[in-house]
Amino acid sequence: MSDDQLGSEEFHFWNLSGTDRAPHLQGTIGEVFGSKWFVGGYNALEEIQRRVRLESMTQHMSEIHQWYRGLTLYFVAQYGAWDLSSSTISEERLQARGVQMDLLGLGLSSAKVAIDTLLTGYYSVAFATIRHMTETVLQCFYLEAFPERAFLWRDEPTPENIKRMGAGRIREKLVKRVKSIKPESDRQPLTEYVEEMFRSWKLLSGGSHPSGSGLAQVVWPESDDMRLVGGTYERYMTLVGFDHGFFAMQGLIEQFEYSNRVNEEWRQRFDYWQEEVADFRLGLKSDPAVQKFVAALEASRKARADAAEDCAGGDIPGNQSSECPVL
């Protein structure tokens, strides 16, 4: 490609053939400036990202406020030292608590990254990050039910251990444990919760892979010959991200609800936050654009699952041959 082609407006949103200096972006935490061939691409993408973020914030301020409130509840509960020296619980349980502490720390970071990527229109990355949050919830529940398995997170990863830690295998074990120890009247809410979290994890797989519904964010509706680059804003994608993100964050924050790390004021604020989130999520069930995209995600995920089933392992990550698609 010639320098003239690189400098044409069709190649990007600003002209590389002009000044020797790339556009200087004000207000960044580490301002990026220099030769156009050094920082030009980054600055152009950053400019797009800022426009998308402004659009997202204009359209979704209420959801953003809810996310920030949830993130603050999460941070307050997670931050600070953890007491892992109690003499009132078993060594196995203490080991499991240590792993849960690590997992919840990762979950907090994911919750911050998820809102940043969601608002800037990097939907595949946002969905993958929210999927990370849902998997973290499942793993925390697994450790609560099977504290003796905490070694799986500490030992060197082997193919067998990776199979045991897959979201599909964890969901299967959790449902069996609930049915074996809970009275019949208490089983349904718990098993439905685990199943819904796993369904969320599977659904997000359809949008986080570089295929299927994940490609929708680069389509330019005005031209078949052009593709969008950088962040893009799509209302229905953003709402789906908030829907599953709130569900995952709620599951993560719930890990603290009955611990001594939070006080009564925290619990009251968490209860109120959950009510607000439940109302928002219920409203999305009647949004046709959101439900259409959810159906497309599910179709994309199912196609990958069917392909994996032809190999060996279905929906259980880590249980396929090297030639199988990873869900």
Residue 41: half-sphere exposure toward Cβ, Cα within 13 Å:
5
pLDDT on residue 103: 95
Distance CA 68, CA 118 (A): 13
- The domain spans of the chain are 1-59, 61-309
Query: CA–CA distance from 322 to each of 6, 170, 253, 309, 312 (Å)?
Result: 39, 22, 36, 13, 10
Distance CA 55, CA 152 (A): 43
pLDDT of residue 4: 38
Q: Identify the pLDDT of residue 164.
A: 76
Q: What is the pLDDT of residue 3?
A: 38
Query: How many angstroms separate the most distant Cα atoms in the chain?
Result: 73
**Torsional sign, CA 268, 273, 278, 279:** positive
Q: What is the pTM of this model?
A: 0.79
Give the model's pLDDT for residue 187: 66
Look at residues 22, 56, 52, 47 and name the one whose alpha carbon lies nearest to residue 36. Answer: 22
8 Å CB contact between 137 and 251: yes
Q: What is the DSSP string of 189-217?
A: HHHHHHHHHHHHHHHHHHHHSSSGGGGGG
Per-residue pLDDT at 223: 63
pLDDT of residue 238: 94
Q: Is 57 exposed, middle or buried (0-12, 13-18, 19+ CB in 10 A)?
A: exposed
Residues of the chain with pLDDT under 70: 1-35, 86-87, 182-187, 209, 211-224, 226-227, 301, 303-327
The per-residue DSSP string of 50-72 comes to HHHHHHHHHH-HHHHHHHHHHHH
Distance CA 27, CA 3 (A): 30
Give me the pLDDT at residue 160, please. 77
Encode pLDDT of 117-155 as tens digits. 999 999 989 999 999 999 999 999 999 989 999 988 887
CA distances from 78 to 10, 55, 160, 222 (A): 48, 31, 31, 46
